Structure 1
Amino acid sequence: MLLAVLFTNIEGNILVERFHGVPAEERLHWRSFLVKLGADNLRRAKSEELFVATHKSVYIVYTMLGDVSIFIVGKDEYDELTLSEVMCTIISSVKDVCGRTPTERLFLDKYGKICLCLDEIVWKGMLENTDKTRIRNLTRLKPPTDI
């Protein structure tokens, strides 16, 4: 299961978060842990360079994309290899929506469309779509033609 997808800015403020199957009382712990993890390791990172960590029997894949940090937490069948595939899909979709590598301002300007893309990629903690073209078509809010 994909437990969490978080987007933060350089200062560690959360821009978007999606938790699945994580009790409300544990969410604060995960938020602070991931922000601290990013602050410690992403300071000198190149854009789109993937980092992997483990914590409490879960896998974490995280990266920088322009001014935005992305964190994905998964467990069981969602190991670091699967999470890196999810991360590549999210990066590709965000860059597609923004038209380039996003600044924080551009990310917030495209917030609604990015949330739609996230909903098409991850649904209720399960990986739903990885095809960039299908995600783009589904986020246009038109019915898909290939059903």
Structure 2
Amino acid sequence: MLMCVLFTNTAGNILLERFQGVQAEERLHWRSFLVKLGTDNLSGAHNEELFVASHKSVYVVYTAIGDISVFVVGKDEYDELALAEVLYAITSCVKDICQKAPTERAFLDKYGRVCLCLDEIVFEGTLEHTDKDRIRRLARLKPIAD
């Protein structure tokens, strides 16, 4: 199950979060853990360099794109490799929406489209789509001609 997708800025402020199957009282712990993980490891990291961590029998894969840090947390069948695929789909869609490496302003200006794309990639804790063109068409709410 994909437990969490979290977007933060370089200062560690949360821009977007999606939790699935995580109790409300545990969410604060996960927020603070992920923000601390990002501030400790992502300063000076190359753009889209993947980092992997393990915490409480779950996996965390995270990266920085532009001014945005993206964290994906999963357990069970979502190991490091599966989370890397999810993270790649998310980052490619965010870069496509913002039309370059996203700044905080560009990300917040396109917040609605980012949420729509995120909903097409991850649905109720499972990976749905990874093809960028298909996600773009689905986020525009247009039928797919197969």
TM-score (norm 2): 0.99
Confirm or deny that 1:26 pairs with 2:29: no
Other-structure match for 1:80 = 80
* Residue identity matched to 2:91: I
Deviations along 1:4-63, whole A, 9 cap, x unmatched?
A: 000000111100000000000100000000000000000111110000000000000000
CA RMSD of aligned residues (A): 0.6
Measured in 1, the distance between the counterparts of 2:38 and 2:115 equals 21
Measured in 2, the distance between the counterparts of 1:60 and 1:108 equals 24
Other-structure match for 2:134 = 134
Give the CA deviation at 1:143: 2.1
SS in 1 for 2:59: strand
Confirm or deny that 1:56 pairs with 2:52: no
Please list every run of 5 or more consecutive structure 1 residues that lacks an aligned counterpart in the other structure: none
Measured in 2, the distance between the counterparts of 1:141 and 1:15 equals 24
Q: Which residues of 2 match residues 66-145 of structure 1 at below 5 A?
A: 66-145=66-145
Percent of aligned pairs with the same residue?
Answer: 71
SS in 2 for 1:81: helix
SS in 2 for 1:129: coil
Give the CA deviation at 1:141: 1.3
TM-score (norm 1): 0.98
Measured in 2, the distance between the counterparts of 1:145 and 1:27 equals 39
* Number of residue-to-residue matches in the alignment: 146
Measured in 2, the distance between the counterparts of 1:143 and 1:131 equals 15
Measured in 1, the distance between the counterparts of 2:44 and 2:108 equals 23
